[in-house]
Structure 1
């Protein structure tokens, strides 16, 4: 895989990690079941995306 593809993958991993950190902060400050459920769903989606990206990155060696 070309180096720029690796850099792109690393950037996407960093973005996903940042999104998770931001959502975690929002969840800590949130009140109300609807907001918490929405944030939990978004966190789950971001974690799944991060897991997928990390698997791809690991496959690159």
Structure 2
């Protein structure tokens, strides 16, 4: 069991909202970034944030089905 499994639904929703905001900001940075290295670094962060978002959404969905 991960620490995220112990979060309340409100805490989980807060973390999901933060991740969604982070992803929006990273997409804006990617649009403004120049240079392949910057774009690659931002793309890696976007992927990382999306993976975390997907994981938390699965936890929330599983909890809401109970």
**TM-score normalised to the size of structure 2?**
0.85
User: Runs (4+) of structure 1 moved beyond 3 Å?
Assistant: none
Q: Counterpart of 2:54?
A: 51
Give the gaps of 5 or more residues in structure 1: none
Q: Which has the higher contact order (CA 8 A, sep 6+)?
A: 1
Q: Counterpart of 1:19?
A: 22
CA displacement 1:11-43 (0-9 Å, x = unmatched) = 000000000000000000001000000000000
Q: Counterpart of 1:35?
A: 38
Give the gaps of 5 or more residues in structure 2: none
The size of the alignment, in residue pairs, is 60
**TM-score normalised to the size of structure 1?**
0.92
